[in-house]
Copies of this chain bind each other. A is one copy, B any other.
Amino acid sequence: MSISPKMALLEEYALVARALSAPARLMLLEQLAQNERRVEALAEKTGLTVANCSQHLQQLRRAGLVTSRRDGKAIIYRLTDARTLTLLGVLGDVAERNLAQVEEILRGISNGEDAPEPINRNELAARLSEGSVTVLDVRPADEFADAHIPGALNMAVTELGKFLTDLDRNTEIVAYCRGPYCVYAHQAVAFLRKNGFNARRLDGGLPEWREDGRAIQATS
């Protein structure tokens, strides 16, 4: 209690940053950006044990990044507000632009091919309304069911090969996934281009699209 207010403040800011400093917690936040979820579901999605998952979630809560409520027997966690999403986005932005390692990893996913620039969300919205584009949601089916861009097709990236014949080669394809930390869209675009499709990524994933205030769709 006798430390200066200046140091006390810095400790608080550092606490928020520390909450973001473990890959496991970034995974959790990525999941929560898709949709609110219960602890058990998060544990399953991320491959963590339930107890470990719970501890990470509490660190995120202490940092003010997520909040929780009870629903029946389950505790449902969700992102506190849009600021959490903004913070994740800016963090990713810094990492992507300033760390050579990140570029290298992404190039590895594309097998060394240069991927085209991603399309931004405004442009996609315009193209969607004129029907000149195929939108591909490459997340797992359950996340697609929770919420997706209206009119999108769902083909989990792991099973993309099976559905290639369903895709129109003459229409540009825009693939999206969970957001800036997710590699699914990168992988999908690389795979599609190798197979002769004209494919690009969307800049941002479903959370960012929703945060823009655009309509989303759920499978009832």
Contact = CB atoms under 8 A, between A and B. Distances in A.
Interface stretch (A14-22, A140-148, A160-168): A14-22
A26 B12 CA distance: 11
Given A64-B94, A94-B84, A22 B26 contact: no
Number of copies: 2
A64 B6 contact: no
Contacts of A27: 10
Interface stretch (A68-76, A85-93, A130-138): A85-93
A18 B16 contact: no
Contact of A21 (B21, B84, B98, B183): B21
Contacts of A87: 90-91, 93-94
Contacts of A102: 9, 12
Q: How big is the A interface, by class?
A: 35 or more
A7 B23 contact: yes
A20 B9 contact: no
Interface of A: 5-23, 26-27, 63-65, 80-81, 83-84, 86-87, 90-95, 97-99, 101-102, 105-106, 108-109, 181-183
Chain A to chain B: the 5 pairs with minimum beta-carbon distance, closest first: A64-B98, A17-B20, A18-B21, A10-B23, A17-B21
18 contacts: A9-B181, A9-B183, A12-B95, A12-B99, A13-B20, A13-B26, A14-B20, A14-B21, A16-B91, A17-B20, A17-B26, A21-B21, A63-B98, A64-B97, A83-B90, A83-B94, A84-B94, A90-B90
